[in-house]
Structure 1
Amino acid sequence: MESRGFIRFLGFLALSTLFLSDICMASIRSTGAIEPGFQGSQMNWIDNNGLFLVSNNSEFGFGFTTTTDVTLFLLVVMHMETRRVIWAANRNFPVSNSDEFVFDKSGNVLLKKGGSVVWTTNTGDKGVSAMVLQDSGNLVLQGNDGNVTWQSFAHPSDTLISNQEFGEGMRLVSNPSPSNLSYILEIKSGDMILSAGYSTPQPYWSMGKDARRNINKNGGQVTLASIDANSWSFFDESKVLLWQFTISDPIDANATWIAVLGSDGFISFFNLHDQGSSSTTKIPDDPCGTPEACQPYFVCSGPSGNTKCQCPSGLSSSACKTGIASPCGQGKDSVGLVDAGTGLNYFALGYVSPSSETDLSGCKASCLSNCSCMAMFYDNSSRNCFLFDQVGSFQNSNRQSDLVAFVKMSSNENGGGDGGGKKGFPYVVIIAVSTVLVIFGLLFASFRYYKKKKKLPQSPDETSEEDNFLETLTGMPTRFTYNDLRTATNNFSVKLGHGGFGSVYRGSLPDGSQLAVKKLEGIGQGKKEFRAEVGIIGRIHHLHLVRLKGFCAEGSYRLLAYEYMANGSLDKWIFNRNREEPLLDWETRFNIAVGTAKGLAYLHEDCDAKIVHCDIKPENVLLDDNFLAKVSDFGLAKLMTREQSHVFTTLRGTRGYLAPEWITNYAISEKSDVYSYGMLLLEIIGGRKNFDPGESSEKSYLPFYAFKMLDEGKLRDILDSRLTIEGEDERVYTAVKVALWCIQEDMHLRPSMTKVVQMLEGLSPVSKPPLSSPLGYSSFFRSMTTSGEGTSSASAPSDCNTDAYLSAVQLSGPR
């Protein structure tokens, strides 16, 4: 029997090592370089803010970062201190937290979205041996000979950084503006040019025409540019300096500048070594010099910070609307050219070639005969005709100009002549006035109905049920108004913490009693249902359960008022490594473990229908003045919406406590709480988190280490090394064995919480737990690194919110 057990343990050890090696490879952040065979999703590195590779100087990181939609992520190189993204792989195709980054054995690097590849370096079978994040912020793929096969500096996104060479064939592209227009920076025809990304690009700035250059050598063609110190330098193909553009004064040799092409069309400069401070220098320097300084056809004027946008006089009758939805979808007879007025200029005129050289009539005829022409500019002095198929904002010309502007407009929008305009006007006014009167009439009638209904007395039954049902029962929580709790918390000024259910604030009632007020978020129930559930939770009284003292259900507000626990949550005491803070002794820790077990046993077995907590972890064990443990947040799962309940499987700090059945299709039961308690008990004993990548590979996963020490007969080694215990305390060995029984992968092997209490208090013997693999944790991580299984909703079991589950396990009061 012993030899068979030893063979089983060796098999378990090999299997666990395989699983844990996958976990470590994909969850521990690497420094300097990673090798082929590396892969994982954003969830693997959530403890490292999504970053899985940092440069040797720790200034730059590579990994996932969130977008404005917090459920979507970009693969980026980021400056660690300022959190500024300097390069992004998939700006147009953000991915979810379960989509995989892969550096495969062939040397190819790719990013998947579902089953599709959204970005790749196309470097397979090219001898790539490592991915290196250099101290400059350049992400490179190197071969065995050290040669660079691919580098991010050669594929910029919207940012250039000091010492990054920007040459012909490269493009900087901004993020789209609110109107979905992007801007493009590139070197071509011997100049650096900034253009608006219309269907026909329209340039609006070039370095060759910027008078701010302080070095200007004629005769060469610019083919390369780079930022060095406080200047942007431009070189020819022989790397001879031709131009220099000063970014900031004075010169700082240690500065690391970045140039960012913004979605507003401006290039801005930021110093990463000065907390990302910005330079006053911008490109272009004219605040009206970009295509979207104002809306299309509006005229921009005024200095920076005080620009004004107004419709030109020639288009004011149509409020600057052309009335043309599809330029080539209307007949020639239904459009005409309207004089936009005098004193106008257009940002692209100094950078584009004329469409033709003709007279004004010929220029008009060219625009009218070209269905895609939306505006034309004619220079009387040069006879140059400019046609544009898309139009941005106009500029106000401050000098006498021979330039005239005409805008193509629909005949309907322009009134079809004076007669048509006069005929149409009264009908428009009549329709508009009638519509406004009808709307005001409906609003007035609704208001009268509401006032009348409000005056009607409610039936006694309804009033009793909706407002006073809790007051009729003794021992029930107090019903507060929102203003009561806002006053008690001094307008929610002292925040104690934030969890999956909402934020918690400290409060004080007029009688001096202290409160912890939780503002619930994501409530999916109406007032009546919420009060019913609060009534159930409020009837639960136990020494080791945090007591609900009151509630608020007013409008959209849902708040719960609990007794205040002076010593806060358990995690602050057992995970604290600050030597100046007091250390919880073994006696206190053991009492906390027993108290927590008693609270859970009451929820599971001393209520009419058992209550499953669903989120046991140190943050939900609170300590009073005397370090008496009390379980908090019980019964809240049913108050949450289904979407909110998924917080248990996605938020950081909770995943290590989830039982294996959370990621299999087994029902969640009280045995899931037992598993979480086992993890909690190990952390209380060890004074550390159950997974700590900072430990050695043997000790990084605490349950694995505990099973190994159990087999070697060294259970004392699991105890927090900071603790001093005189002699042999059998409770240490008892507690470890109880914890290992609780985290058995097979839920049927786990004891009930009542049995746990009996074993801890010495009322029931504790046999040696089987050397079962703690694979719930490994399976959980493997599910996140397998396509299609990264989110809780992909293969979610019955959770604490489903109707099927609640039919068997209800929130209820004591017997």
Structure 2
Amino acid sequence: MFLRAKMNGVSVSEVPIKNFLGKRCRMLCSFGTFGYVLALILVLSSAFLGCCGDDDGDSSMVSVPLGFEISGFDRTKNWVSKNGVFAFGFLEKYGGDDVDGFVVGVRYNLGDQEDVNVPVWSVGGGVRVSGNSTFRLAMDGRLELIENHSGIVVWSSNTSTLGVQKASLLDSGNLVLLDDDNKVVWGSFSSPINTLLPGQSLHFPQNLRAPSTQSVSSYYSLEIRRTGELALVWEHNVTYWRSHFGSSASVEEARFESTGVLGLYGDSSEAVWFVTSKDFGDPSVTLRHLRIDQDGNLRMYSWNDEVRSWKVGWQAVINQCNVFGSCGLYGICGYNTSGPTCNCLYTDSLDSGTSGSAVDLGSSGCKKMVDLGNCRLHTSMMVMKQTVLYGLYPPLDVNMILSEEACKEYCTNDTSCVAATSKNDGSGVCTIKRTSFVSGYTDPSVPSVSFLKVCQVPLAVAARAANHRYNGESVSLPSSRLAGGESRTRLIEGVGIIVLMTVSIVLGVEGIVLWVMFKRRKIETRLTRLRKDGHMNPHCTGVVRVTFEEIKDLTDEFAVRLGPSVFKGTLPNRIPVVAKILSGTVVPEKEFRLAVSTLGAMHHRNLASLRGFCYEPEHKLLIYEFVPNGSLDKWLLDLNKDPTKWSWHQRLNIALEVARALAYLHLECPQCIPHGNLKLENVLLGESFSVKLTDFGLQTLMSNESASSSESPSEKDIHMLGEMLLQIVTCQREVLMESPQEILDELSRKETPPVGSEEDMKALERVVRIAFWCMQTQPFLRPSISEVLKVLEGTLSVDNPPSDFVFRHESMTDSEAVA
């Protein structure tokens, strides 16, 4: 048990004091009640001395000892730097009022206004946790963020071997870990998130990523490339701003200075490129930071103490509309008197001559463009002057040299063309877009005309719109002069027929529109339910049922294939999901829905959440959350070419997270739910390469297999986990070596994986040994998942497996073979 003195909610006892107390308190407590009183006095007086002292001679830091903790239950208590400028703790409303959970990190401490106390660094790149969480400096020297209800370590600094004795929040905003000699062995400055503070640097291949919007990862990042160039990029596809310097220059780092300078510096410490804030060198400015914002722009901020707010002193992209995809899909960025705004590119197939209403900059509130293949009549071209359109997937854009009229004509006749932009800058470039994922910007100074292909307005509607302007041109119906009674009669009859036809067509069209609107609203309502609380609240147990037609809509007719039966989809608010087709599944609807309900109630940070399902006679699908970095096999087997690509600690962490997910399924659910199909392809990698298991529980919950097998489903899981552990260690699909020592010798010979210390070597040996135990041909000899987890965490030792054990697939019976 710890005895910790606290002042202002923060542990202030120092490491030398803690070491002294360890011996003295045990001695005093042996004297009974009086001894306990003396021990308490010793603790309090030592803490007072530690608090009022010089922090080991360094007046720029506030230190906390091993065992220090901050709880999410009391977010009013923060760890504040000595100068009072920075605070560390649980950050509320980070990313918006409608975002659940908390981010833990360093923020400014400039008053009561949340908009001035902007975060400058966050644990795990902004990972969210519940209020029932704790951040601590563990006794082995690791910083850890723990979800208390599950005991899961959400994030760790992995510094247990560095001799850490205390942590400090420096006046610079750098959170550091120090050893006995007050030497910094780890610091938050070395792992920037979206902000650089004065004195902080970027080195290849580091980057800054814009803050996420709600739970969707940002598409924008600032990269420092191998060449030393700084670049703002969208989704690794588009560079929309870059630094420019001589090609002969050698760049070591990008550094932000307290004077308001962002520079690229070579090995001689001379700047080869730099930009400055407009208040550069102003001595009255004491606080600055550089940040890539949610809108994708890079800005320098200066603190104005008089008005108590942050002011922009420089931004990389002067015209915000030049930030690629500023207004998202189907949006057009423009300017009005108040600044940049977004308008929708397209709203309704029957009103193609007008743009949509304004939406917030960077939002995705615009409707999807109409499917041109479903036009009732032919298509026409909407003309948009002083406008540039681009596809969000640039490889699908094609440049040609054509005149403006020829550019329009080419797109009109090309069935694959969705839009085109003709540049009137003398280049004669015509850009053809063959993707419906279109965005753009407009400005009076832009020498371009764009053409958007839309469904042609029906004649009856056009007649009703006579003498109105359409696409900038007057539209009117031809008339003829009729004379005589017969002519008058024919005219009246003709007008009557036209009126009758017009009314019939209008009523028919309105009926169709109302039906389409009703169906679309029904789809959007259902999909809104699919994304709402279920995506934002990790404890929501609701799984939404959708139709196959709705799934076709959100996957754009299954356009993006992620696997043999897995397709990427997008909800109306651009949250990505995955639709998995369950081919060959024959199970009654009641059992299917019971299974889905069970799986939907499972919530663990290492499980891909189930969001919805479809059950129809011919179609059975599941909808999961989208995990951005793909499956483990694509990354792991590629390491065989370069085993140094991932460190041993990264691979061990992946193995740990897989085991934790399996432990949750086996031990923490109301009933044991074996995974049933544990393989590399079902281990997905999220942000920072965190693990998300998918495809769990399906085979067991919906299986008609006989229970006569010699091993239970959970025992099969352990066997499959053993195979996976060896695959993670060796970076090979098939591992045919017959003993742990043989594998260790082979790894040592190939230097795969490279380990950095004796402790790492012991951990590697533990992983290999427990893997062989997991693959014992006799199921009763296999360890439980809790034992496997303890071995991987290093809290339980493991002996060599029996010498007569042979690891060969062909030695197993059919019932023991891995699925």
What range describes the TM-score normalised by the shorter chain of this pair? 0.3 to 0.5
User: Whose relative contact order is higher, 1 or 2, with alpha carbons under 8 Å and at least 6 apart?
Assistant: 1
Bigger Rg, structure 1 or 2? 1
TM-score (norm: length of structure 1): 0.41
TM-score (norm: length of structure 2): 0.41
